[in-house]
Structure 1
């Protein structure tokens, strides 16, 4: 099941050539398209399925700096500023609210980890602070959890995934961008080592530059070109409630639940410690690169071997541009919901905040993210192919950092002064 997305009237036809082709109609690619269009660069976005049909509409809508890796903080801080301006830029409300995010701690060891993070980002002068149990009760009243404390960043926020990407797409088209759905890019056209076009299921389009923002599918696209982008899939199941009274406007992350208020008055709820890790053939190929992250994050993962492995094997890893590509065989990745994890989340949440005893589930869905070994994306020129830029691997953080990530990709594409230092996102870091 997929969440309802605000519809977008995209284009049916497209020109035979255009300066920039963006592969992927998710929120990051759409921000890049809007940025380039604002700068007078003609661009076409080619989406194999529908705009925001995968993780861009299936995420939880958190826009956070709290507990983010220090190397990723400049991107998160820049995105905060851009999110605040986005409603005016796109001409509509996308549900953005600077309502704060709070993570709860069960014990002193978790509090020490939060304190260490605050010290690590002191030069950024954030408003993050540690909370006592009494302060948690005042900010999120009606609870009965026995918390050691928490960490809270008032300037963190939220937005609505079902609204934001569609609004950005409409704004980009109003600026001249062309967006085409149900049109997969099969491969690149190259001459003398550089991009000269793309081969789509509907024919060739000439171009000077390609921005690959294909999310989960970027690894497979690059693999067909002989380029290894190390990403593995993780799947999160999400519940949406009907409108209800809630304890706070703040988004709250507990040890085995999370919740945040929606613009429609309902809540988005997940089981934070039940992230499905569907085993695929890629685990055999690159799993060793993730040993370090498994040691620190493995307690949250639930390995699953089954249908996902078979589905992955049925999709080719090598194909010719004249043949049907994997992206046409699976237009939209629609993973099964882990209803057991959703049940666990509600049990834990109701024990902590009894007001959720009366919560009524309106909708369930799941989404799959592409995770790199260090949980940072790649936003960089591909050294082997001039004119090919990658902007993928956001590891579940793409929605929150999309405004700055898309602009950074546009800066790299144009050779402009980048919005932030792109060094943490270099492709070459995986070669070491």
Structure 2
């Protein structure tokens, strides 16, 4: 069997400080970005390319949270129709990024395939393909026989599949860190171990960011803080009904070719990497760890919870106790910054279940094993599409958050759009469906797919 290569494995083993020496914290900037994930780093890169003085603050390391822990799919396929223009923009950028950033990010145009276990699911994919054909023109339906040709080691007979040849994959940590380093080379200040405490305003307009190490002044602030975005926005009297779910991911030892394309179906998601190892996860099953914040905005999520009850696992344990301890005993500033890098435990039951499904559905060595597993917190919104907006009630603020587990592939497109918002006050792509006030106004729609 092929040996596991030294190709970096997500997430923590490829994390490193963007600069080996701490920078002197600037007192002023044109733009401050909160969050060192894929949205924050791409925004920093495209803004720095425009010549702006950019400061990015991250309480831990770049890519240390969900942007370094996701599956690494880069897809237009089966997205909410509202996301498709943004996904198409991102996909037009990905193929040239390794040359542009001058570093390996694991990009490969290997396609994406979603298999349908039954005719009902096949019809659902077909309906999406017809609705999306003007934008996602490369997506096409496969019959059962055609699917077997694309995935010859698939043992289970399926009704067919949805396939997009032009989709691909990249390594989450490598790509996110590459954008941060490129932004730094363009003159951006990437401040790791520097947590944001509060967005400052003067006469209701943005005036800077108070960090744990002091105040940085700027007329524009981009909130790309992922799962903690609602905390910053609530202080500005902006409501974001954001919740957190836990997703478990595993890395297998190198295997024979299972699927050239990124694969979803029959309860599992697979991304096979260059050395044959696979990123493996449950297709849609996630954990909800009860904390004191769980009931916040719960009413927005009840319809989805009731409709897709079987895809959620509810847990009451260490996260609740830790959260209670922080709220009762920790200082106010510490509560905003901790846990700086949460110890997110993978669900071992799901690790075993997904490996079992892999062996059940694919021809493969029975001794195939998991090398390691990890988990990440996904910030979700009730309609499972993001907020990308500059709310008029707080001039100078741009919000880019709530990507609900499928923001990595959108990253370069989001960074491009955010840079346009910051410099021109508008973007080439309509962002009407991503407005923050859709939740207050009640104009948001049910999720396109289960959260």
| TM-score, length of structure 2 as denominator length | 0.90
1:48·1:327 contact (CA, 8 Å) conserved in 2?
A: no
Between the aligned partners of 1:95 and 1:429, the Cα distance in structure 2 is 36
Q: Any residues of structure 2 matched to 1:32-431 within 5 Å, and which? A: 32-316=43-327, 323-355=332-364, 357-415=366-424, 417-431=426-440
1:23·1:29 contact (CA, 8 Å) conserved in 2?
A: yes
Cα deviation digits, residues 291-328 of structure 1 (max 9, x gap):
333355433222222222333344459x99xx524343
SS across alignment from 1:12: coil
SS across alignment from 1:235: strand
2:199·2:232 contact (CA, 8 Å) conserved in 1?
A: no
Cα deviation digits, residues 383-415 of structure 1 (max 9, x gap):
332211111000011101011111111111112
1:8·1:166 contact (CA, 8 Å) conserved in 2?
A: no
Between the aligned partners of 1:294 and 1:417, the Cα distance in structure 2 is 35
Q: Count matched residues.
A: 429
1:75·1:401 contact (CA, 8 Å) conserved in 2?
A: yes
Task: Name whichever of 34-43 and 216-225 sits farther off.
Answer: 216-225
1:31 CA drift (Å)? 0.3
SS across alignment from 2:12: coil
Between the aligned partners of 1:291 and 1:356, the Cα distance in structure 2 is 42
Between the aligned partners of 1:223 and 1:359, the Cα distance in structure 2 is 47
2:18·2:62 contact (CA, 8 Å) conserved in 1?
A: no
1:77 CA drift (Å)? 0.8
1:2 CA drift (Å)? 4.6
Between the aligned partners of 2:349 and 2:12, the Cα distance in structure 1 is 19
Is the aligned partner of 1:3 residue 2:12? yes
Cα deviation digits, residues 196-241 of structure 1 (max 9, x gap):
1211111111111111100011112222333221111111111112
Runs in 1 of length 4+ with deviation above 6 angstroms? Answer: none
Task: Name whichever of 364-373 and 241-250 sits farther off.
Answer: 241-250
Is the aligned partner of 1:23 residue 2:13? no
Between the aligned partners of 2:426 and 2:379, the Cα distance in structure 1 is 28
| TM-score, length of structure 1 as denominator length | 0.94
Structure 1: give runs of 5+ residues left out of the alignment. none
Task: Name whichever of 399-408 and 119-128 sits farther off.
Answer: 119-128
2:77·2:136 contact (CA, 8 Å) conserved in 1?
A: no
Between the aligned partners of 1:85 and 1:255, the Cα distance in structure 2 is 33
